[in-house]
Amino acid sequence: MAGNTSAPGATVVSRALALLYAFDDRHRRLTLTELARRAGLPVPTAYRLAGELVAGGALVRRADGAYVVGRRLWDVGLLAPVQTGLRRIAAPFLNDIHAVTRATVHLAIRDGAKVLYLERLSGRASVPVVSRVGARLPMHATGVGKALLAHAPYEVQEAVMADLAPLTPYTITRPDRLRAQLEQVRRDGCATTVEEMTLGACSIAVPVRGRDGEAVAAIGVVVPTLKRDRARLLSALQVAAQGVTRSLGG
> 112 is in the binding site of which of its own copies, DNA, none (Cβ under 5 to 8 A by kind)?
none
Decide if residue 4 touches DNA (CB under 7 A).
Answer: yes
Angle between helices 12-21 and 32-39 (to 10 degrees): 120
Q: Which helix (H) or strand (E) holds 37?
A: helix 32-39
Comparing CB distances to its own copies, the nearer of 173 and 242 is: 242
Q: From the CB of 127, what's the least distance to DNA, in Å?
A: 36
> 249 is in the binding site of which of DNA, its own copies, none (Cβ under 5 to 8 A by kind)?
none
Beta strands, E only, the chain: 29-30, 59-61, 67-69, 104-111, 114-121, 136-138, 191-194, 202-209, 215-223
Q: Which of residues 55-74 bind DNA (CB under 7 A)?
A: 65
| Amino acid letter for position 220 | G
Q: C-alpha angle 233/235/237, rounded to 5°?
A: 70
Enumerate binding residues for its own copies (CB under 8 A). Answer: 1, 11-14, 16-17, 20-21, 23-25, 28, 49, 52-53, 55-58, 68-82, 88, 91-92, 95, 98-99, 121-124, 132-134
> 3 is in the binding site of which of its own copies, DNA, none (Cβ under 5 to 8 A by kind)?
DNA
Q: From the CB of 15, what's the least distance to its own copies, in Å?
A: 9
The count of other CB atoms within 10 Å of the CB of residue 207 is 26
7 contacts: CB under 8 Å, gap ≥ 6: none
3-state secondary structure (DSSP) of residue 29: strand
Q: Which of residues 95-154 bind DNA (CB under 7 A)?
A: none
Decide if residue 17 touches DNA (CB under 7 A).
Answer: no
> 45 is in the binding site of which of its own copies, DNA, none (Cβ under 5 to 8 A by kind)?
DNA
Which of 17, 33, 88, 188: binder of DNA (CB under 7 A)?
Answer: 33
| Residue 119 φ/ψ, nearest 5 degrees | -140, 155
What CA–CA distance (Å, rounded) separates 22 from 58?
A: 13
> 130 is in the binding site of which of its own copies, DNA, none (Cβ under 5 to 8 A by kind)?
none
Contact residues for DNA, defined by CB under 7 A: 1-9, 11-13, 15, 31-33, 41-45, 47-49, 65
